[in-house]
Amino acid sequence: MDFWNIFEYAAWGISGLLLLWMLFDAVQVNRDFSEELLTSSREGELEDQSEKHELT
């Protein structure tokens, strides 16, 4: 195996890790916040909600 094959496998590995990270984050956001809040157009509501969540 030459350098470029190793580089290619490393790139695929990093891509897979990024995919898993994005899926984990999507599940976590879906669990922590309601769909109504996430699709709201009111600015700052999400920030206020997360600050209250951290204080309690």
> How does pLDDT run across 11-55, given as a tens digit for each residue?
999 999 999 999 999 999 999 888 887 777 666 666 666 666 555
CA distance 27 to 20: 11
Distances (CA, A) of 30 to 1, 23, 24, 25: 42, 11, 10, 8
How many domains is the chain built from? Answer: 1
Please tell me the predicted confidence (pLDDT) of residue 42: 67
Looking up tokens 């999400």 gives 46
The domain in which residue 31 lies consists of 3-55
Prediction pTM value: 0.61
Copy the structure tokens of residue 44: 């700052």
Question: What mean pLDDT do residues 5-13 have?
Answer: 97
